Homo-oligomer: A and B are copies of this chain.
Amino acid sequence: MDVKSALQSARERHLQELKDLLSIPSISALPAHKDDMQKAAEWMANALQKIGMENVNIMPTGGHPVVYGDWLKAEDKPTVLIYGHYDVQPVDPLDLWETPPFEADIRDGKIYARGATDDKGQVFMHIKAVEALMNTYGELPVNVKFCIEGEEEVGSPHLDEFVDQHQELLSANVLVISDNPMLEKGQPSVCYGLRGLCGLQIDVKGAKGDLHSGLYGGGVPNPLHELADLLSSMHDDKGRVSVEGFYDDVIPLSTDEKEAYDDLNYDEESLREELDVPALYGEEGYTFLERTWVRPTLEINGMHGGFQGEGTKTVLPSEASAKITCRLVPGQNPDKIMQLLEQHIERHHSHAVTVNITPFDKGKPFVTPFDHPAIQAAGDSLQHAYGVHPAYTRMGGSLPIAETFSDILDIPIVLMGFGLPTENFHAPNEHFHLENFDKGLEAICHYYNTLGETLK
């Protein structure tokens, strides 16, 4: 029997097992669900045990435990680390769910439940793919290690420490994560890069208290003017960041990658309509995908000062604040960029006011080389299962867990998501398309087979 047949004949059992997993309300954010968290961890450990994993262990952390299990008998073969999480988001507002969030319901080719796509459904696929390979060949084409955490939905507060303390246990040749959506329905994608992050708050202070704008206006520094000038000085009129040195270390996009993005024929006009903006906007000379995937940015996330109520109040405020974050791309170092930002602010602010800077947490960008065999093999496997050319993408956001593994284990990462952007993860009526469950299982099996042959 081949793997595909094994998957097909096990389909009903798979769905029953998945429904069982989805019935556990493992909401990591709510202390009332502590027992459910333990139950979900045990469910995962049992599932790993049943498919022949060894060293299965529910490992304590400062918060909810990590479930680990491995199979390391594929001599001279690479090791694949599989990351996933068994915790889910809260479910309120409950009355917007068409069926109860913890009673999985299959309708219209989709399975509806909290966790269906994020991430129980997707990590379950890896377990079942490994099971199918094992049942078919009696062994696995690669060594595998599962690392399934229970705190992703609360920001993985203990994952850094856990990975740091278990570097040898977790060491591998590639990390595979299925916890993200594919580009769109029918368009499978491999994501191989994420932007990094650094940011800061700017607090501008003028006079010691608010003043009457009639009596003092025009004669006393206004922190709002100063803040507007400072923020305005950070971009030029071509949409480029004008902080000196900002682009110095940016690694330019390779021709192959640019072609791969152009091949996607991304429809900017549809996006513009969907967002309902008069025009898209950004750094001159780049497409929307390039601007958000491979170009660094500086965004004001918030600003405030003075009167914000209805109507008018003739106040000359004492203080004004803004928060900005930069998305960084491979080559850029968050610490260096923070320094450049501070220098820019210092150089540009009027000395009639006091300016204070508070840095926020930083995150490094990561990219697995486009031509890395683990990336190309992922694309090939998606093509095999879906019969369409896969998209090679990066993401504009940051993924703290990817940074953790990339930083501590220095490991290439493949993001191979089977969810869809429209599947209501984090919202009522979360669901997962069974079409992607089926094709994804096939793709994962094919991927592990290919990795066994190509990855060293």
- Interface positions of A (Cβ within 8 A of B): 195, 197, 199, 201, 206-208, 211-222, 224-225, 227-229, 231-233, 235, 275-283, 288, 291-292, 295-297, 299-308, 311-317, 320-323, 325, 327, 350-354, 360-361, 395-398
Contacts and interface: CB of A to CB of B under 8 A. Distances in A.
Question: What are the 6 A-B residue pairs with the smallest beta carbon separation, nearest first?
Answer: A214-B397, A302-B306, A218-B297, A232-B232, A302-B307, A228-B231
A389 to B, nearest CB: 23
A308 B317 contact: no
Nearest to A216: B292
A218 B306 contact: no
Contacts of A320: 303
A286 to B, nearest CB: 9
11 contacts: A207-B276, A216-B275, A217-B299, A218-B292, A219-B281, A219-B292, A220-B280, A224-B300, A232-B233, A278-B352, A302-B315
Q: What copy number does this chain have within its complex?
A: 2
Given A219-B292, A306-B323, 8 more contacts: A207-B275, A207-B276, A218-B295, A224-B302, A227-B228, A278-B353, A278-B354, A308-B321
A352 B277 contact: yes
A342 to B, nearest CB: 16
A292 B281 CA distance: 40
A278 B214 contact: no
Contact of A299 (B218, B292, B351, B354): B218
Contacts of A214: 195, 197, 327, 395-398
Contacts of A195: 214
Nearest to A226: B281
Contact of A222 (B278, B300, B312): B300
A327 to B, nearest CB: 5
A296 B217 CA distance: 9
Given A214-B397, A216-B396, A302 B278 contact: no
A291 B208 contact: no
A419 to B, nearest CB: 15
Contact of A199 (B295, B299, B312): B312
Contacts of A288: 219
Contact of A302 (B225, B305, B397): B305
Contact of A292 (B208, B217, B229, B292): B217
Nearest to A241: B218
A327 B218 contact: yes
Which one of A220, A281, A299 has the greatest number of beta carbons of chain B within 10 Å?
A299
B215 A299 contact: no
A276 B205 CA distance: 10
A219 B316 contact: no
B291 A396 contact: no
Contacts of A276: 207-208
A325 B213 contact: yes
Nearest to A350: B281
A301 B314 contact: yes
A218 B304 contact: no
Contacts of A315: 301-302
Nearest to A309: B302
A180 to B, nearest CB: 11
A385 to B, nearest CB: 26
A16 to B, nearest CB: 35
Given A213-B301, A291-B219, A312 B308 contact: no
A199 to B, nearest CB: 5
Given A220-B281, A352-B278, A360-B312, A323 B307 contact: yes
Which one of A220, A279, A321, A350 has the greatest number of beta carbons of chain B within 10 Å?
A220
Contacts of A398: 214
A416 B329 CA distance: 66
